[in-house]
Amino acid sequence: MAIISPSILSADFVNLERDMGVLKSAGAPWAHVDVMDGMFVPNITIGIPVVAALRRVTDLTLDVHLMIDRPIRYIEAFQKAGADYLTVHLESDTPENIHKSLKMIRDLGMKAGLSIKPGTPAQACEEYLSECDMILVMTVEPGFGGQKFMADMMPKLQWLRRQLDQVNPKCLLEVDGGVDLTTAPICKNAGAQVLVSGSAFFKASDKADFVKQVQA
């Protein structure tokens, strides 16, 4: 069964506690938290204090996606804030620091994720696969919600799933961007196990049914 991780980027920021309750009531086990710094991506969203606030009001798995420059600087702070999964972008720092970041995340008791933008080939992840608990493939350009799903990213998922099955079969494969009831089966067929859905989840008239269909 797949895991849905609704993105709070599409939630009502005035009512985040309420919307975390909406996720829980709908049966979503995870909440995806997009952290953007205005440098690595052209948008600024939320940071460490909001993650800490979310942790106080929910027991859902906090799937924190760092779209920030040189994330190694903030890993300990996000651990203290309550992140469960902490994902860094391969493109956000030097290879040496990405290796260090993944190790630090795991040493601090979190699950380590590595994400790649649409323009980054799957093969760029190869040297990190054994160090990850999750690989995140972006199916939109990172920075803003509500973008159109990029189906041409599916070969990346397929390649990564084959490689992970050989070197790190417990590592999850996550997709973020444009996931709805039409695109979710495409992602799962390509090997995705965790599906991030923002606007489609929050716009769904029956959110519990949406969760069931995505996770089926």
Which residues are identified as catalytic? 34, 176
**CA–CA separation, 107 vs 115, rounded Å?**
19
Closest CA to 63 of 77, 82, 44, 76: 82
HEC per residue, 150-196: CHHHHHHHHHHHHHHHHHCCCCEEEEECCCCCCCHHHHHHCCCCEEE
Q: Give the DSSP letter of residue 129.
A: G
